[in-house]
Every structure is written in structure tokens, then in C-alpha cells.
Amino acid sequence: MISFENDYSAGAHPRIIQRLTETNMEPLPGYGSDVYCENAKRKIREAAECPNAVVEFLVGGTQTNAVVIASMLQPYEGVVAAETGHVSAHEAGAIENTGHKVLTLPQHLGKIDADELKNYMETFYADGNHEHMVFPGMVYVSWPTEYGTLYNKAELEAIAEVCHAYEMPLYLDGARLGYGLMSPEADMALPDIARICDVFYIGGTKVGALCGEAVVFPKGNAPKHFMTRIKQQGALLAKGRLLGIQFDELFTGNLYLNISRNAIEMAEQLKRLLHDKNYTFYLESPTNQQFVIMENERLEELKKHVAVSFWEKADDTHTVVRLATGWSTTVQDMEELGEWL
């Protein structure tokens, strides 16, 4: 059985496992105050070209989104996101569980539109009863999106302009950030994201780490006592070294981008393979997630040999299926997939 179900089906990059093993018996202080966490934070600041950034480590994406959003919003505020955004659809109400509503906008290939956001804000404040409503207090975007698509620099800057006009922070979910940065269609580097956004996170769980995400407040604009807020929500690891060592290694020798490039190269092979096999694309993305429409009978046969991800029902006899490459996908995986498609 081979897996194209997601981009986190493997454990961690061998260099990370080796480093965790080498440092295993080294006594270190807790809660992220160790030298490896400090090294990782310094390397991230350098890579993002934001020397005053506040960087903190959390375990997973949903946890990170819940902590960041709840920490930055007032009790009467909600977060604006695409209707297909991860916080809107696939976090089991984690944001709502913190007491904040997710306010959805229409999605266009997974993205929100700056003009629609502006219209939403204008309409909200034009409502004579808006003081009785949930205030939009933050905007959430994913890069890449849940459909593997990318905002270009102009699109993200336009959204940021609306956010700043209404004094709302722009938060970028970078669960698959490396795959976005390595896409041939990307016109942004990490420093661009740090410049445009008010807060973002660098995904590790889906990009070579055993677990972990690095939250970055690029302008030093973290909420007051942010670490205390992390702990209050049960998200602070006593053994913070687990995350620091991983990100220290990911940001040594360009490892993070190099392994992300592998996922994109394999995705390009995957797209060619799917075209050669005459599959109908539901969405052909510029990153590591590809979506095709399969006959249900053909899908059931494929699942005997290949793990893939259900996306949505197309009709009574067809299903939209996601196939994802990742940092660990090999040429051998692609060859075997070709035998079963």
C-alpha cells in the first residue's frame, strides 16, 4: 500500500530524528527556554528578515489557529475566513469553542477576494444595528489554500490594505507554507509574507517535522503575555525542546525549502501522470494537492492499493478525490501509483 492521502503520512525527516536522538539525554530547561528553541527562533527571524519578530512554537495547526485567533480578538469579535477555510470547515468548531464566531466569505478556488472583503466591511458598519452583532476583528487566509491554490502578492496586499483600513490583523495559516514557497507560480518569498501579514505560522507537521508549527509575529506585535495565553489553553509543552530542535534543523542548510521542493517536483509528475491516464481534474493546483473526479467503482478498486483522500461527492456515481504529494514522496511511489491508476 502506498499513500497519497495527505502530506503528513510519514514521520519526520531523518535529519530531525537523528538530531532528536543525539540530544535526547541532554538536560535542558523547559517551556521553550532551551538553546535549541532560541536558535530556531533566530534562524526564522533571519529567514523572514524580521529581526524584531516574536516567534513561538505550538504542536499542530488547529491548536495554533485556536490560540492565535482567541488571543488577538476581543470577546465581541469574530474572524473572517473563506467558507472553505480550515477554521471554517475542518476544525470541529475549535474557534467557536473559544467563544469567537467564524464569519465566512465566498471562496474562489479557496481564496477570498479583497473587493468582497471591503464590501463586507462597508455593509457591516452601514448596518444601524451593528453594535448588536459580532464584529469582524481579524481576517484569516491560508497559503496555500485548502485547494492548493495561491494568493499572489498583489492579491494578498489588497486584502492587507482592507484589513489595515479597518484595524484588523491579517493572519496567514502556513500549514503548507514550504510547498507554496517552492511552487513555480509563487511570486512571494518568506520576507514578503512577513512584510504583508500581521501574524503567520510556518507549518512543520506537513513539511518534514514530527509535529510542530512556528507562529511568527513579524513586527513584534504579539498579544501581551502570549506564552501565558498558550499555556492557559493547554498548548504549552513542558518539553519545548521537542519543537525547537525540529525547527532548528529545518532551518539549517535550507532543509525546509529543499524538502518542500521535492513535494512540488513530485506533484508535477503526478499531474502529468493523471493527464496521461485521462482523469478529469476537479482542480489542478500549482502546489502539492491535486483533485480529480473518479468513478466510484474505479475509486474502490484503487483504494485496495493506494491511500487517497475523499474530498466531496461529485454525483451519485462519481467522487472528487484528493491526491497529495509531500516532502517524503519518492520516484518509486510515483512509479507504483502509475501501475494502479
- pLDDT tens by residue, 205-232: 999 999 999 999 999 999 999 999 999 9
* pLDDT score recorded for residue 25: 98
Task: Give me the DSSP letters along 12-74.
Answer: --HHHHHHHHHTTT----STT-SHHHHHHHHHHHHHHT-TT-EEEEES-HHHHHHHHHHHHS-
Find the mean pLDDT for residues 93-112: 97
At residue 46, the pLDDT reads 98
Is residue 121 within 8 A of residue 136, CB to CB? The reply is yes
| Residue-wise pLDDT tens digits, 23-55 | 999 999 999 999 999 999 999 999 999 999 999
Q: How high is the pLDDT of residue 125?
A: 98
Specify the amino acid at residue 214. Answer: A
Q: Residue 182: its pLDDT value, please?
A: 98
Per-residue pLDDT, 166: 98
Q: Mind listing the pLDDT tens digit for each residue in 139-148?
A: 999 999 999 9
- Condensed to tens digits (0 to 9), the pLDDT of residues 165-195 reads 999 999 999 999 999 999 999 999 999 999 9
Residues with Cβ within 8 Å of residue 186, at least 6 apart in sequence: 150, 180, 286
pLDDT for residue 30: 97
Assign 152 a pLDDT band (cuts: 50, 70, 90): very high
The sheet with strand 280-284 has its strands ordered as 280-284, 289-295, 318-324, 309-315
Chain segment 232-284, per-residue pLDDT in tens:
999 999 999 999 999 999 999 999 999 999 999 999 999 999 999 999 999 99
Which residue is associated with the grid cell 473559544? 98
* Average pLDDT estimate for 100-120: 98
How is domain 15-254 classified at the architecture level of CATH? 3-Layer(aba) Sandwich (3.40)
Q: Which residues contact 166 (CB under 8 A, 6 or more apart)?
A: 121, 136
- Maximum CA extent, the chain: 63
In angstroms, rounded to a whole number, what is the distance separating the alpha carbons of residues 10 and 7?
8
Burial (CB count within 10 angstroms: exposed 0-12, middle 13-18, buried 19+), residue 110: buried
Q: Please, where in the chain does CATH 3.90.1150.10 lie?
A: 2-8+256-340
For residue 134, what pLDDT is reported? 98
Q: C-alpha distances in angstroms, 299 versus 232, 304, 310, 311, 315?
A: 44, 9, 10, 12, 14
Comma-separated ranges of CATH 3.40.640.10 domains in the chain: 15-254
pLDDT digits (tens, 9 = 90+) for 10-20: 999 999 999 99
Q: Give the pLDDT confidence score for residue 189 in this predicted structure.
A: 98
Take residue 82 and report the three cell numbers written for it: 473563506
- Model pLDDT, residue 274: 97
Contact 294, 318 (CB under 8 A): yes
Chain segment 275-324, per-residue pLDDT in tens = 999 999 999 999 999 999 999 999 999 999 999 999 999 999 999 999 99
Rounding to the nearest 10 degrees, give the CA dihedral for residues 62, 65, 69, 70.
40
- Which CATH fold topology does 2-8+256-340 show? Aspartate Aminotransferase, domain 1 (3.90.1150)
Q: In the structure, how many helices (H) and strands (E) does the chain have?
A: 14, 13
Q: Indicate the pLDDT class of residue 204, thresholds 50, 70 and 90.
A: very high
pTM of the model: 0.97
User: How do residues 45-94 score in pLDDT, each as one tens digit?
Assistant: 999 999 999 999 999 999 999 999 999 999 999 999 999 999 999 999 99
> Residue 316's pLDDT is what?
94
pLDDT at 215: 98
